[in-house]
DNA sequence: CCAACCTTGACACGGCAGTGATAAGGTTGG
DNA sequence: CCAACCTTATCACTGCCGTGTCAAGGTTGG
């Protein structure tokens, strides 16, 4: 075989084997399988896993966020409906307690990182 | 005052008063306040609340999804990074167990609705 | 053949989302 | 003035997210 097994890929990418299976279940990175069912991670998957990790930490996202972003790209109706709602929402972030509306999206992550109280 | 109080708005829109406060905390619909701090829902807010509910149920979304969509619209760098990753992901949905990668995003909701086992 | 590795499934756990209920206290309209 | 309503804060509960770990069983390379 010309790819890495799950544990090798885990050590290479910094994810845990458990998370690699989880990421696959989320439909974000699905490696090929050998005849016996072993996952085989090729250069493409390894690359995608590395950049995915970067993406998540850099922007403080969850796997669901990425899955949702894909839905937005693939479901025109969804994208249109969401944009329509957002467009009709002149939400004045200035009137909200500064940083409150945004922190809602990131609060859990910030807590996880020990940034927020 | 020329708007509805929170309980009136709740009955009008179908949300519970509790959820109206929660939606506000999520930064999605923030009504004006009277001098004493009472929330006053005007026609705009009522409209937004109604369509928001439609949006969520129609497409099976969470409040976080909408918050994330707004981040995507407002943070160019984020949008670019996400799109770059998705673009570099020729994820073959055809090879995944049919409906599996998508159901991941919607599984919880379907379970909630008693659709999935 | 066998140690080392893989697979799926399940239990566990802390944390957050969504939601209701309840308490303590301020506001309002008739 | 007072019943009815509002506010924030808090406790509680279900269910999912992210993760680790362990069990039972199949695969592989030397």
Nearest-Cα distance to chain B for A25, in Å, is 7
Nearest to B104 by CA among A91, A100, A70: A70
Q: Distance (Å) from the C-alpha of residue B105 to the closest C-alpha of chain A?
A: 7
From CA A39, how far away is CA B74, in angstroms rounded?
Answer: 38
Q: Confidence class of residue A98 from pLDDT cuts 50, 70 and 90?
A: very low
Average pLDDT for B62-84: 95
Strand D nearby residues, CB < 7 A: A 1, 16, 18-19, 22, 26, 34-38, 62-64; B 5-8, 17, 21, 37-39, 107-108, 111-112
Q: Are strands B39-40 and B32-33 parallel, antiparallel or unpaired?
A: antiparallel
pLDDT confidence band for A13 (50 / 70 / 90):
very high
Does domain B6-74 fall into CATH 3.40.190.10? no
What is the C-alpha separation between B72 and A99, in angstroms, rounded?
A: 17
> What per-residue confidence (pLDDT) applies to B116?
42
Write down the pLDDT at residue B100.
55
CB–CB contact A96 B28 (8 Å): no
- Residue A39 φ then ψ, to 5°: -75, 135
> Chain B contacts of A104, Cβ < 8 Å?
25-27, 67
* 3-state secondary structure (DSSP) of residue B45: helix
Return the structure tokens found at A84: 């329509």
CB contact residues (below 8 A), chain A span 1-20, against chain B:
none
Element housing A77 (H / E): helix A76-87
Q: B88 vs A55: CB contact, 8 Å cut-off?
A: no
Given a cut of 70, is residue A91 above it in pLDDT?
A: no
* Facing residue for B67 by CB, picked from A28, A69, A105: A105
A39: DSSP letter:
E
Best residue in A37, A49, A75, A101 to probe B by mutation, most B CBs within 10 Å?
A101
For A36-75, write each residue's pLDDT tens digit. Answer: 999 999 999 999 999 999 999 999 999 999 999 999 999 9
- The reply to whether A111 has its C-beta less than 7 Å from any atom of strand C is yes
Q: How far does CA B108 lie from the centroid of its chain?
A: 15
Q: Where are the domains of chain B?
A: 6-74, 82-113
Q: How far apart are the first and last CA of chain B?
A: 49
Q: Which of B28, B68, B88 comes nearest A65 by C-beta?
A: B68
């Amino acid at each position: 075989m010309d790819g890495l097994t799950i544990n090798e890929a885990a050590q290479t990418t910094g994810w845990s084997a458990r998370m690699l299976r989880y990421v696959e279940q989320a439909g974000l990175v699905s490696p090929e399988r050998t005849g016996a069912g072993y996952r085989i991670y090729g250069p493409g998957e390894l690359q995608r896993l590395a950049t995915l990790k970067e993406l998540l930490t850099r922007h403080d996202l969850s796997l669901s966020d990425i899955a949702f972003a894909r839905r937005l790209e693939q479901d025109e109706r969804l994208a249109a409906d969401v944009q329509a709602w957002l467009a009709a929402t002149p939400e004045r972030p200035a009137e909200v307690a500064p940083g409150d509306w945004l922190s809602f999206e990131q609060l859990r992550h910030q807590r996880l990182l020990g940034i927020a109280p």
